[in-house]
Amino acid sequence: MSTFNNVTVTKAANIYYDGKVTSRVVSFADGSTKTLGIMLPGDYEFGTEKAELMEILAGDLTVKLPGSDAWQTIKGGDSFDVPANSKFQLKVSAVVDYCCSYLD
């Protein structure tokens, strides 16, 4: 799916890490939300509240998921799940375009 239709977009961006990570919130009629975001090359740590499905639309990164000591290689077209109320670490090596879905 290349577009999201009949959605609400919050105009102001979320800005993290001096703008190296940014995202915007997209809200759907069923009450669910996603963010569409960009991560520039760098090392990041994020925390979740809800569980997340991270779809990597483009770019290259490695991710260390909660409870793992291994860094997993992720490329454009790949996705990964992050549990609720957890932390995960990312090393981005090529600009990442992503879609994050918040799961109930």
Instruction: Determine, following the binding rule CB under 8 A, whether residue 91 of this chain makes contact with a second copy.
Output: no
Closer residue to a second copy (CB): 9 or 84 = 9
Q: How many chain residues touch a second copy (CB under 8 A)? A: 30
Instruction: Determine, following the binding rule CB under 8 A, whether residue 3 of this chain makes contact with a second copy.
Output: yes
Distances (CA, A) of 50 to 24, 39, 62, 76, 77: 17, 20, 21, 23, 23
DSSP summary character for residue 18: G
Distance CA 58, CA 83 (A): 22
Closer residue to a second copy (CB): 55 or 86 = 55
Closer residue to a second copy (CB): 58 or 84 = 58
- Binding mask 19-58 toward a second copy (x if CB under 8 A, else -) reads xx-x-x-xx--------x-x-xx---------------xx
Helix (H) or strand (E) holding 90: strand 87-103
State residue 85 phi and psi, 5-degree precision.
Answer: 50, 50
The greatest distance separating any two alpha carbons of the chain, rounded to the nearest whole angstrom, comes to 41
User: Which spans of this chain sit near a second copy (rule: CB under 8 A)?
Assistant: 1-13, 15, 18-20, 22, 24, 26-27, 36, 38, 40-41, 57-58, 95, 97, 99
